[in-house]
A and B are shown apart, each in its own frame.
Chain A
Amino acid sequence: MTFLPKIALMGLIAITAGCTNPDRFAAGADDANADAQAGANDPTSPLFFNQTIGDRVLFTVDTSTLTAAGKIILDGQVGWLQSNADYLAIIEGHADEQGTREYNISLGFRRANAVREYLVSKGVPATRLRATSYGKERPIQICSQESCYASNRRAVTVISLASLS
């Protein structure tokens, strides 16, 4: 029973992983889909990870320090990753538009790496986690105000099946 839904989900994950902006299709992107809803109620599904545990943490301007709220979300991610050992994760770091392109790639990588190091420190094997950065290239909120910037300064843990990597 646990295997079949995962196969169904694999297709969804494959689409997600193949997209240049995976997190846009993550939390809440597919509510109308019955299978996805079923997945969201299954604690072993990536949708449960995205929607219930929380796939992202936010950062203050020009920092890569994890906040207390962020660490609570990451503790949840640790638990999920430890219970679902056949999944890998790519952690994507992002920056808001208030900065130059190259620096923001580096800053996003610092953020992704801060998350990766935290997960590893709590017992997730480093071999299951990779970090990347999109800098300021993939905002999810597009206004030029702090309300949008706050959502864009993020690190998103994107789950994928080990067999797909």
Chain B
Amino acid sequence: MMKRFLIALVALMLAGPVLAQSGPLRLTITDGVIEPLPFAVPSFEPENAAAAQVAADITRLVSLDLSGTGLFREIPASAFISAHSSFAQAVAYPDWRAINAQALISGAVTVSGNQLIVKFRLYDVFSGSEMGGGLQFAGTVDGWRRMAHKVADAAYGRITGEGGYFDSRIVFVSESGPKDNRQKRLAIMDFDGANMQFLTDSSALVLAPRFSPTGDRVLYTSFASGFPRINVLDVTSVGTRQLQTADGEMAFSPRFSRDGTQVIYSLANGGNTDIYRGDIASGASTRLTSAPSIETAPSLSPDGSQIVFESDRSGTQQMYIMSANGGDARRISFGDGRYATPVWSPRGDLIAFTKQNAGRFHIGVMRTDGSEERLLTSSFLDEGPTWSPNGRVIMFMRETQGAGGTSSLYSVDVSGRNLKPVPLPNGASDPSWGPLQP
């Protein structure tokens, strides 16, 4: 019985690529008939009176997180036969089987002062057994959303066998004002758009923040000096400092090395843009490319050994891979149009990119050898993909056309399904998805 449960899941995870090969991507994939796995989340049991509200809120958010992936479907409480009102109570499996709930999530919440404890268990209804042991998370009442995300991550992880991504944050550029007077500020939010906070004011133009591997710092490009320069921002203290750049040079498009001590970035000098690697502490830098063309948007492989980047050395923007120490590069993109902003997936298997072709922009993925290119989106302007920590979801910026054009963030499954906007109060661009929080 357990096998049946897992096979259904494996089929679910494989469905994307299989469908993708059946024809050109785009919305045909999002329209693909995929049956999400039905689950039930009876309201988490408040173990004391103070926990009543937050227990209900957490239950709601766990369900939203899982349903939001498009891989799971919540069975409404109105369909429940069994109340399952107590965490300690034995599960009446037949009652859950009868409503076709394949997974059952049960939880309990205790509040004392601002201290919050959440317990949860996951059941495989059809095999009639618990999946994994019970888990307990401790946090604050103010941080209740994180506790819900942790429960959802654990359930997602146990059912799919992969890491989750709900308890993670995204740094991005918050935008306001018309196109010819746009104000841009760095901001940070939970993966679902909640808890947005500004990290900078709008006094200087800022672009393309990038999280460090542990999420403690952010690299970004600032025009405070009138020239693009790279700054490092400490997320906790919100203190910033500028990386060293020589006079007349412009530095931009930074990303952290996997150990967080170095930065790979673009440096423009005399009209030419090349890729460099710099040490954050000492400022010492090494030049990795030396072509008269534009080399920019570098992204490291998960093992840190290779760099994927874009170059117009062939005449148009295309993607190339080279050693992390520079040297010869091999071109990986050969389709129609221009390929830009490559980002190596955390799983190492795919490169996400922006493709510009025939007046449209797309977010796409391809294997690291350039094969199996699939376009996931299409619009007037889609740009700048970033990967969820588990490599299953891509977030990007979509900008609408015309004088009133605005930017917003969208996420899409790597299969091309489940395209949806991230709810935010203002315009937004340049997302960078941070790691799962500890």
Interface on A for B, CB 8 Å cutoff?
17, 20-21, 24, 64, 90, 97-103, 105-107, 109-110, 112-114, 117, 130-134, 137-144
Per the bound structure, the CA–CA distance linking A64 and B268 in Å amounts to 15
From known contacts A105-B228, A110-B271, infer whether A142 and B294 are also in contact, taking CB-CB under 8 Å: no
- Shortest distance in angstroms between B432's beta carbon and chain A's nearest beta carbon? 13
From known contacts A109-B250, A144-B380, infer whether A103 and B271 are also in contact, taking CB-CB under 8 Å: no
Can you report 28 A-B residue pairs in the complex whose CB atoms are below 8 A from each other? A20-B223, A24-B180, A64-B271, A97-B399, A100-B356, A100-B383, A101-B383, A102-B252, A102-B340, A103-B296, A103-B312, A103-B317, A105-B228, A105-B252, A105-B296, A106-B296, A109-B250, A109-B271, A112-B271, A113-B271, A117-B271, A130-B248, A131-B248, A133-B268, A137-B207, A139-B180, A142-B403, A144-B402
Per the bound structure, the CA–CA distance linking A103 and B271 in Å amounts to 12
Per the bound structure, the CA–CA distance linking A31 and B405 in Å amounts to 30
Tell me whether B381 and A97 are in contact (CB under 8 A): yes
Which residues of A are found within 8 Å of B268, using beta-carbon distances?
Answer: 105-106, 109, 133
B30 within 8 A of A: no
B34 within 8 A of A: no
Q: A100-B356, A142-B403 are in contact. List 8 more A-B contacts (CB 8 A).
A: A64-B271, A100-B341, A101-B384, A102-B310, A103-B296, A106-B294, A142-B180, A143-B403
Q: Which range holds the interface residue count of chain B? A: 35 or more
In order of increasing CB-CB distance, the 10 nearest A-B pairs are: A113-B271, A100-B340, A106-B273, A142-B179, A106-B294, A102-B296, A144-B401, A102-B253, A142-B403, A109-B268
B415 within 8 A of A: no
Tell me whether A131 and B271 are in contact (CB under 8 A): yes
Which residues of B are found within 8 Å of A99, using beta-carbon distances?
Answer: 340, 356
- Shortest distance in angstroms between B382's beta carbon and chain A's nearest beta carbon? 10
Which residues of A are found within 8 Å of B208, using beta-carbon distances?
Answer: 101-102
Interface on B for A, CB 8 Å cutoff?
178-182, 204-205, 207-208, 223, 226-228, 248, 250, 252-253, 266, 268, 270-271, 273, 294, 296-297, 310, 312, 317, 340-341, 354, 356, 380-381, 383-384, 399, 401-403, 405, 430
- For B430, give its contact among A98, A101, A140 (CB under 8 Å): A101
Tell me whether A144 and B207 are in contact (CB under 8 A): no
Per the bound structure, the CA–CA distance linking A57 and B294 in Å amounts to 22
Per the bound structure, the CA–CA distance linking A134 and B403 in Å amounts to 19
- For B250, give its contact among A90, A105, A117, A143 (CB under 8 Å): A105
From known contacts A101-B208, A102-B266, A103-B310, infer whether A142 and B340 are also in contact, taking CB-CB under 8 Å: no
Which residues of B are found within 8 Å of A20, using beta-carbon distances?
Answer: 204-205, 223, 226
- Shortest distance in angstroms between B312's beta carbon and chain A's nearest beta carbon? 8
Which residues of A are found within 8 Å of B252, using beta-carbon distances?
Answer: 102, 105
Select from chain B the residue with minimum beta-carbon distance to A132: B227
From known contacts A144-B401, A144-B402, infer whether A101 and B271 are also in contact, taking CB-CB under 8 Å: no
